[in-house]
Structure 1
Amino acid sequence: MDLKVGRCVLFLVLLSGLVRCSAAFVFWTALLVTSNQDSQTNTSVKRYCECGVYGISSPLEGATGLLTLPIQGSMGCGPLPVYARNSSDPPWIALVKRGNCTFSEKIIMARNQGAEAVVVYNVEGTGNMTMHMSHPESPGIVAIMIGNAVGVEMAKLVHSGVAVEMVLSVGSPHGPWMDTYWLYFLSIAFFFVTAASISYFVFLSAHRLHNMRSQRRTEHRLKTVAKKAIKQLEVRTIKRGDPETGEDDQTCAVCIESYKAGDVITVLTCGHIFHKACIEPWLLAKRTCPMCKCDILKALGVEIEEDKEQIHTSSYPPPDVTVVTVSGGEPLYEVPLNDPQRREPQGYQHRYVNGAFQGDSQDRLG
C-alpha cells in the first residue's frame, strides 16, 4: 500500500511539472480599441478587436497612446532616432512592420525613445495571422503582434495624418493546456488521485484503529484470565525461621529486596517465590515467571481462545535458545527448545532454575 501512495505522489509531482513546463505554450491575446476623428463626418470612429498576441517576454499589462510610425520606412530598424517622438511627448505607441531586424531590436528602439508599447504587424501575404513573438533581450515593455490586414489599415490612417489613439488591454489565455478538454481531463485526474489518496489513508486509519481495539480487547481478556489464575496461586506469609529468612538471604527478583518475617509472598507454579505486591502487577502484564518464563496460564490449565502464537510471542524465548534443566540430584542437561525429535516421558516435568541464583547458593554452601 505504501508503494501505491508513492506512485500517486510521484504522479502528482510529474503532473505539476508538466503544467509548469507547458506554461510556455500558453499565450495571451490582446484586446485593441482604436479611435480617431472622421474628417468628413466629424464624428469619432471606434474599432474593437481581440486580434493581438502578447510577446513571450512582454508583461501582461495594458497601455494607451497615439499610434506612431517610424520616420523612414515601416520596419523600425536603423540608427536612432527612429521615431519623431521622445519621452517628453504625450504617451505614444510604436506601430512597426515585421522584418529587417529582430523583434528585440524593434522593441528596444521604440523603448529608448519613450514608447509606452510596441505593436508589430505581420508581413504581406499572411492575412490576419499572428505569432507568439520571442524577444528575450527586450523585457519590461508591452509588446504585441497583430495581423497584416489590421496593421496595414492602421498604418494608412496614421500615414494620412489621422491621429489614431489605441488602448491595449489583456484578453484571454489560449493554448493546449487551456483547452476545455484538457481542463476536464486534469480535473478528473486530480479528482481520482485525491480520492485514491484519501481512501488509502481512511483505510489505513481504520485498519490501525481496528488492530488497536482488537489488541485492547485481547489484553483486557488476558488480564481477566490472569486475575483468575493469580487467585489460584499459593500465597503465604513468611515467619521467623522459614528458609527464605535463613543464611542464604534470598531476594525477590522483582524488587531485589531480601525476604523478612511478615512479608506476604506468592509461590508460582514453577516454584519461584516473589513478594505478592511485586509479582501480581508483573503477572497481569506478562503472565510469565520473571526468572524462568514459565507461563502460569498454561501451567494452571487455563484455556484462552486467542491465538497462542500471537499472544505469547514476546513471552517465549527464541527457537535457538537452550535452557538448563534440573531433575532432583541428576546432572545438568542442555535441551534445545526447537528439537522436534525430542520426546519426554509422560508425567515428566522440568524445573527451570536461575543459574545466577544457583551458582550463588553453591558458592555459599561451599
Structure 2
Amino acid sequence: MAWRRRPEARGALALLALALCAPGARGRAHEWFSAVVSTEYVDPQTNRSVRSVSESGRFGDSSPKEGARGLVGVPRAEDRDPEGCEAGTRFLVPGGRGAAPWVALVARGGCTFKEKVLAAARRNASAVVLYNEERHGNLTAPMSHAGTGNIVVIMVSYPKGREIVELVQKDIPVTVTIGVGTRHVQEFISAQSVVFVAIAFITMMIISLAWLIFYYIQRFLYTGSQFGSQSHRKETKKVIGQLPVHTVKHGEKGELEDVQEVTAPESPPGGVSAADLSLMVPDGERSDAGSSESPSTSDPVPPCDASFKEDAGENTALLETGRSDAQHDGPAC
C-alpha cells in the first residue's frame, strides 16, 4: 500500500521544487556598489597633512559607477539650507578657484535625493556626497535619483559627513576622492512569489497528510483481520485436541456402558464446539483402547444410520457426549 501511494508524495515534492525554481520565484536581484572615500587636508595647528581612506560610502542607484575628485563644498550657513534642497542654494568651497572641480556635501532629508543632486549640478558640482541622518549612525542607505544625468552620487555615514562639514565650516580646504568599491548583489523575494510558494507548500502538506491517514487506516484494518484469523485457528486446534476418541471394529455392537461421560469444553463466542466436530482415525493408528472392548455377537445388531457408517474396513467415529442415559437402553444410534 505504501509503495502505491508514494508517487503522490513525490508529486507534491516536485510541485514545491517547481515553485521554488520557477522564474521570478526568487524575485529580483538588486545590485549596488560600495564607494571608497578618501579625504585629505592640512591641519592648521600642526601644518601637517591629514589623510584618511575607508570603504564607507555607497553609490546611488542611478549614479555612474566611476571615480571623482574635488574640493568639498557645503551649503552656506546664511542660506539656512543644510540639506541643499533649494534651487538657488549657494555653496561654500574653501580653496576653490575658478572652474576647479568640486564636490557638494549635503545632509539627507528635507527633499528628495533627485532635488538635492539637481540643485548641486546647477552650481557645476562634479559629484554629490550625501551624509545619512544621525539616527542611522554609521549606516548608509540605497538612493533612487533617476533623471540626474551622469553626475556621481554617493552616500556616507553621519559621523563621516559631520567630520568633513566641520572642517569646511572652519574654512579648511578638504579634498575628497571617490573610488569604486565592492560589487554587492542582494536578492529580494516578491510578494507574488511568496504567495505561490506558500500555496505549493500547503498543497504538499495536505496531500501528505491525506496519504498518511489512508495508509495507517489500511494498515490497522489489515493487522486486525490477521490477528482475528490467527486467534480463530488457535482456538479451533485447542478444541480439536480436547475431543474424546473411541475406536470400534466392523460389526461391533457398540455398547457404551463403559464410556465415561465427557463434558465438552465451552468455546468462546465465535469459536468451534466439540459437539460439532467428528474425527476419523485410520485403522493403522488405533490405540489399544479400541481392542480392549470385546464385541458381543449373541444379539443381533440393529442398523444405526445416525452414529456409524459401515465401510469395507474398520470404522472410527466420535461418540457424541451427553447421551449416556440413552445408551443403557440399547445400542447407540
TM-score by length of 1: 0.42
TM-score by length of 2: 0.46
- Higher RCO by CA contacts (8 Å cutoff, separation 6 or greater): 2
